[in-house]
Amino acid sequence: MTSQLKNQNKNRFDQVLTEVRARRDEFEKKRHVPKDMIVQLKKMGVYRAHTPQCLGGDGSSPMEFLKLIESISEADGSAGWVASFGSAAVYLAALPGETLAKLYANGPDVAFAGGLFPVQPAERVNGGWIVNGLWKFASGCKGADILGVGIGTGEGGKPLTAVLRPEDVEIIENWEVIGMRGTGSHDLRVKDVFVPDEWTFVRGGTPSIEEPISQYPSIAYAAQVLAVVNLGVARAALNEISLMAGRSGITGAPKMADRAYVRISVAKAEAKLRSARAFFYEATESAWESILKGEDVSADQTSMLRLAAAQAAREGASAVQSAYLLAGTSAIYDGHPLQRYLRDAMVVTQHAFLNESMYDGAGSVHLGVQPIKGFI
């Protein structure tokens, strides 16, 4: 790539991030990222990053994609969260090859959203399934090109995901939450829709197209792409404190930058955040290097991916909390950036893939004890 083309891509990237920052209040008010913004994310390469290269994808590494989501999340956590589902191409690769060819027939930029839980029973019929049910937490569903819902049981006792068109799904707009309001993680309802077998897959199942990214641990990756959102949100929060530090307070007290406790707290938060981020990307690179060498990703490496994701989510939230506490009363008002950062960061830590059980699972692998089901 020429330096001129790199500059053009960077300028386009910066322009989209500027638009995300300018519209984040809109996302929060509407409680979803609008489709026209999804189009801009597509132009950034979010949804083609992991599309199979043989079908027009970019062949991006996990590190490249995660850093992309981290940058978007620094601009707005909800936009980063929605963009993170560009990683869905990794487990969509478990669809049959002919189905993937149809899916990407009009180009590699396909936005997926899924309400995979609770898994609902589906009626087995000739050639497929009759799907009915209600599913929760379908982040980004209002801007998705295709939607997935969890049904039945596939090979090895793992649930199947049925892929549907938006017109076959009713979106129940009930995303009434404190943080991550712009993700539009509404419920999905499906009534008597036939889904052919070839449009179902096991999440984490054997990919039909063998490319390096399809060998990456898909469930661990699903945790990583969410955890990295908090690295971006935390960076935004610490940047906000840096901006505030040179201003005088209303009480006439010294500027924040002139107070020792502020300097110490900022330094500690910075050190913890950078340490968690380094661990996060170190674990990612280790697994990716094994894949590029033609080796399997080990149980220990997968465990480290899950552990690093949980740690990144928590240290990110901790950094945001530190920033909020340092900001004093100014941060309690609606509209202050730290209000949003605090609310968004705490929502990330609540995700099932990032909760306290991840430490139990990682500790079990480290000590040679059977980990919790589904951890590796």
Give the model confidence (pLDDT) of 318-344 as tens digits. 999 999 999 999 999 988 999 999 999
Q: Decide if 3-92 and 111-202 have a common fold.
A: no
Output the tens digit of pLDDT for each of the chain's 376 residues.
546 556 668 888 999 999 999 999 999 999 999 999 999 999 999 999 999 999 999 999 999 999 999 999 999 999 999 999 999 999 999 999 999 999 999 999 999 999 989 999 999 999 999 999 999 999 999 999 999 999 987 666 788 999 999 999 999 999 999 999 999 999 999 999 999 999 999 988 899 998 999 999 999 999 999 999 999 999 999 999 999 998 776 666 789 999 999 999 999 999 999 999 999 999 999 999 999 999 999 999 999 999 999 999 999 999 999 999 999 999 999 889 999 999 999 999 999 999 999 999 999 998 999 887 777 7
What architecture (CATH level 2) is domain 111-202? Beta Barrel (2.40)
Assigned superfamily of 216-367: Butyryl-CoA Dehydrogenase, subunit A, domain 3 (1.20.140.10)
Distance CA(176)–CA(78), nearest Å, equals 14
Strand partners, 146: 112
Look at residue 6 in the predicted model and tell me its pLDDT.
63
Distance CA(193)–CA(361), nearest Å, equals 38
What architecture (CATH level 2) is domain 3-92? Orthogonal Bundle (1.10)
Tokens of 87: 């990683």
Question: Running DSSP on this structure, what letter comes out for residue 220?
Answer: H
Tokens of 137: 């937490």
Distance CA(368)–CA(236), nearest Å, equals 39
371, HSE (Cβ side, Cα atoms, 13 Å)? 22
Contacting residues for 257 by C-beta, under 8 A, at least 6 apart: 245, 246, 263
Distance CA(88)–CA(51), nearest Å, equals 9
| Residue the block writes with tokens 């980063």 | 80
Helix (H) or strand (E) holding 75: helix 62-75
SS3 category, 167: helix
Look at residue 1 in the predicted model and tell me its pLDDT.
53
The ranges assigned to domains in the chain are: 3-92, 111-202, 216-367
Contacting residues for 66 by C-beta, under 8 A, at least 6 apart: 224, 225, 228, 280, 281, 284
